[in-house]
Amino acid sequence: MSKYWGRNRWYYILRPYVDHIARSSFASIEVEGSVPDDGRAVIFAPNHTNTLLDPLVLLQHFPRKAILFGARADIFNKPLAAKLLHFLYMVPLARERDGRSSVEKNLEVFPVIIDVLKDGIPFCLFPEGAHKLKHTLRPLRKGTQRIAFENAATQPTCVVPVGLEYSDFLTFRGRCKMRFGEPIDVNGFIEAHKDDLKSDQYEAFGDLLWNRMAGLINYIPEDENYEKRLDETMPVPPRPWWRIPLAVITLPFFVAAAALSLPMWLPAELLCRFKIKDKAFSNSVRFLCKLFLTPLLLILWAVLGFCLLPTLSAAALLVYFLFSYSIFYDWLNLVLWKHRRLS
């Protein structure tokens, strides 16, 4: 499979466009820390809160490099979906709740992951096994340990904990902060715990990884005091006096942006309101609508603009259209003003 991915030219042709749409889904993406570049195989272990946008944010740090992602196995059930997901550098990994027989199939995927790591492509697995719209951290599954330990038997390996924080999980064009933590030297860990039972090694490694991941986010225990601690740790900044006057002054720009991007934001918002049961997918839906509809609308507005307007006016219309989706949501965020502070 790694040889097939090595010839995946269309992936690298399309990546700049997808990265651009991903970056424009946020007002800003801050990065702290660094990734080791010492020849060791790298396995990323991020927290998981924002569904599709989590891996897209991680990819922004590697604009000219692919990352292999582990994903829930059931989305690979249909052949066409599986082919598309493989094209996107994703492999199926079953969870314990999928049943013993499904989990056993992971053993067929591990050699593929090891083969890809040997080719210098990092691997990313979300150790929590599921996403959650809270600034907390679930107990970690054992998949990261299994892959890391097996790969360490073939080459030097490290696991890099990653913390992803968002100013608001449900609001498009928010702010994001990504922190790379201190890498865990898997080979050194195994050597230090060589006299322990395998189960004890897994548990100790999981505890170490959980603590490092929790230290990279504004971790808040999920209990009856969660909301109170959230307001204390990540408060919503006071609404400035100039917010409404600025919104009034820029209203014509908002109306123009709303009209130009209507075929993108309207279906996105209708889907989020009436079709998407898991609200964690809201911003992923808005991202996908922009990703797939931007080229079509660009052609539409180009045809209409150059047929009905002077050349310079048509060119200005197209430039404004390219920013219109962001302007639309930025104006709404200015009015609603609910992004939390990121420390």
The predicted-structure confidence for 106-156, as pLDDT tens digits, reads as follows 778 889 999 999 989 999 999 998 999 999 999 999 999 999 999 999 999
198 and 258 assigned to the same domain: no
Task: Give the pLDDT of residue 25.
Answer: 97
What's the per-residue H, E or C state across 277-308?
CCHHHHHHHHHHHHHHHHHHHHHHHHHHHHHH
Residue 228 within any structural domain of the chain: no
Question: Cβ neighbours of residue 229 under 8 Å, at least 6 residues apart?
Answer: 220, 221
Residue 152 within any structural domain of the chain: yes
How far apart CA 115 and CA 7 sit, in angstroms, is 15
Residue 343 within any structural domain of the chain: no
Degrees, nearest 5: CA angle 275-52-293? 65
250 and 192 assigned to the same domain: no
121 and 197 assigned to the same domain: yes
Tokens of 200: 């004890």
pLDDT (mean) for 12-37:
95
- Among 41-45, 54-58, 98-102, 246-250, the minimum mean pLDDT is found in 98-102
Q: Are 52 and 75 in contact (CB under 8 A)?
A: no
112 and 6 assigned to the same domain: yes
79 and 204 assigned to the same domain: yes
Give the SS3 label for residue 196: coil
Per-residue pLDDT tens for 208-266? 999 999 999 999 999 999 999 999 999 999 999 999 999 999 999 999 999 999 999 99
Q: HSE-up of 152 (CA within 13 Å, CB side)?
A: 18
Give the SS3 label for residue 124: strand
Residue 221 within any structural domain of the chain: no
- Between the two ends of the chain, the Cα-to-Cα distance in Å is 41
Task: Give the pLDDT of residue 103.
Answer: 67
Q: Is the pTM of this model over 0.75?
A: yes
263 and 148 assigned to the same domain: no
Closest CA to 128 of 146, 110, 142: 142
Number of domains in the chain: 2
Residue 1 has pLDDT above 60, yes or no: no
Residue 102 has pLDDT above 90, yes or no: no
Pairing type for strands 157-166 and 174-180 reads antiparallel
Q: How many CB atoms lie within 10 A of CB 12?
A: 11
Looking up residue 61, the CATH number of its domain turns out to be 3.40.1130.10
Tokens of 261: 């991007």
Question: Cβ neighbours of residue 138 under 8 Å, at least 6 residues apart?
Answer: 128, 129, 130, 132
Q: How far are the Cα atoms of 56, 89, 122, 244 from residue 1, in angstroms, in the given order? A: 22, 10, 15, 55
Tokens of 284: 């992923």
Residue 260 within any structural domain of the chain: yes
Domain that holds residue 203: 2-214
